[in-house]
A and B are shown apart, each in its own frame.
Chain A
Amino acid sequence: EPEVTQTPSHQVTQMGQEVILRCVPISNHLYFYWYRQILGQKVEFLVSFYNNEISEKSEIFDDQFSVERPDGSNFTLKIRSTKLEDSAMYFCASSLGTVYNSPLHFGNGTRLTVT
């Protein structure tokens, strides 16, 4: 069964550094998402992406964050200048249709630690 894959599984970075989290969604999916989960807290929506543009974003997704689908297969989340509070598990997800109509398929996540 096809799966969403995320790399790396764990990323450690220093405060102020740029970090790129990578995801390969399921190949025929059209909608792509990033969520994050700070330790002990709930899974929070960051951004959704469809037809090569952001379709919705949360308040968390400020100017420090950006997403790209550079080559038709990868879907990346970039944090320009990391802060301590960016430490979290970041989940990529993809779906065939909108959230309302199709299940989200999640990756295993990337644990980002900002020191």
Chain B
Amino acid sequence: AQRVTQPEKLLSVFKGAPVELKCNYSYSGSPELFWYVQYSRQRLQLLLRHISRESIKGFTADLNKGETSFHLKKPFAQEEDSAMYYCALSGLRADKLIFGTGTRLQVFP
């Protein structure tokens, strides 16, 4: 079965603290993994994807095939990072994203 699991509904940290948003997946083929973000009153948008191996707004995510995980990390959280974060996956020949349930990140000053 194709599934994305985000175990935390809410993650609260103070500004400057490290952040790790967890994502585990189940997929039979070779998935591509993504993190999408939705800031308050804004639309859902792509934050980063595994294949790009880039850091966006200080966030990184490493695909661990052994643990089937794609956790999102940032060493020092900022207040503007407060948002809803969705992990998602797609297969090479699939034309759809499978989303997790999302984690709300709250960064307190």
Contacts and interface: CB of A to CB of B under 8 A. Distances in A.
Are A and B co-members of a single complex?
Answer: yes
Interface of A: 3-4, 31, 33, 35, 41-45, 48, 50, 55-56, 58, 91, 98-100, 103-109
Contacts, number: 56
B17 interface: no
Contacts of A35: 97, 99
Nearest to A48: B95
Interface residues of B, number: 20
Contact of A45 (B91, B98, B100): B98
A58 B97 CA distance: 11
Interface of B: 32, 36, 43-46, 49, 86, 90-92, 94-102
A70 B44 CA distance: 26
A91 B44 contact: yes
Given A42-B86, A104-B36, 12 more contacts: A41-B101, A42-B100, A42-B101, A43-B86, A43-B97, A45-B96, A99-B32, A99-B97, A100-B92, A100-B94, A105-B45, A109-B43
Contacts of A58: 96
